[in-house]
A and B are shown apart, each in its own frame.
Chain A
Amino acid sequence: MARDFREILKTKDFVVTAEAAPLKGSNIEKSLEHIELLKDKVDALNVTDNQSSVMRYPSIGICLLIKEHGGEPVFQMTCRDRNRLALQADLLFAWSRGVRNVLCLTGDSIVVGDHIEAKPVFDLDSTQLIHLVHTLNSGKDMAGNELNGGTDFCIGTTATPSADPIEPQMLRVRKKLEAGIDFIQTQAVYELDELKRFMEFVRKYDEKVKVLLGIVPATGAKMAKYMNENVPGIFVPQYMLDELAQAPKGTGIAKGIEIAGRLIRQAKEEKLCDGTHIMFIGKEERVPEILEAAGLNHS
């Protein structure tokens, strides 16, 4: 299969990526299992960067592991833990080792994680990081110095189509589009109308950017409610909470997978977007079930 993600984005009708979250500790066996299981079922594996501000094995480490095992990694990079020097150095390192895709994020606040006394860096924000990657792509560093070997990253970023209020969020998306990006993976969306609204907005400014529908399967009504209250940018609608609550005991997770599959299937059939990005953190081994429920039999 083609392993150039930028090429896949251009040519494939419906792109599928999945999140691979590094774990805490130097033992990478579990991550390796996930990679082996998923690398051929999805178009790219997206590796989080100290997700939710919880310290873990580094994103770049898992990216290299994916590369070694024949998969296509997307290197997530947040501005939370690195100043502009570190950001650039890490990007150069990633490129030199064959990582071709970077997802530019601001990053969660330090205080939501497990090292709440740490100094938050946020030297740059996500929009500025996109500009920075372009600078490296052009063979220069941020200070304007020529690089001995630049980069040519495929650049992605995130957006929250269900933000409330939506207007300021859209203005920021517009800035990101103007900065130049290849793909957007959305924050979890549960109402496809929100996705439609979002696509209309995006297409006004950018014909070519690919939008991947973010999917976070709920594993039960309780968890969904918890996410609503605690996870930034996630809004599970009431009818879906009811649907989850009505599922017989022990089948909440199956219900969540069913709903996720349904959302993806509908988005694909109605051509609402260009693909999907599945975030099933801690349950990576069940991602294939979602793919099946969505009717995405990857070849």
Chain B
Amino acid sequence: MNGEIVAFCCEHSAYVAADAAGKQGLHCPENLRIIRVPCAGRVDIIHILKAVEEGAVAVLVLGCEDGLCQHLTGNVRAKERVKYSETLLKEIGIDGRRVAMFNLAANAPHKFIQAINEMNERMKESGEEK
């Protein structure tokens, strides 16, 4: 990889939002790579770490809004795992802000684009290249 953003997208919300963004012509950064998952709760710590290992500049997990996970706790667990991954990275001196969790609904393409842009901004600020 070379500076890509890996985004794990829940197929009930974020993945649909990403489609909608494309449909509405909301442009997103080209370095985005989406991996579709059935629920944010499917994303494991090792997936996040491997993405960082492979050279992703940032890793995002995008799930449903709080309280609206089809599987009740999937998004909550995902958030916990992202937080833990952040810790794991920080403790070895890697910027923990490279991983993040966002909650959004399927009808929120703006929020989706915002999340990706925010990550790009964040990474520019921190100046950390891969």
- The reply to whether A and B meet directly (CB within 8 Å) is no
- Give the B-binding residues of A (Cβ under 8 A): none
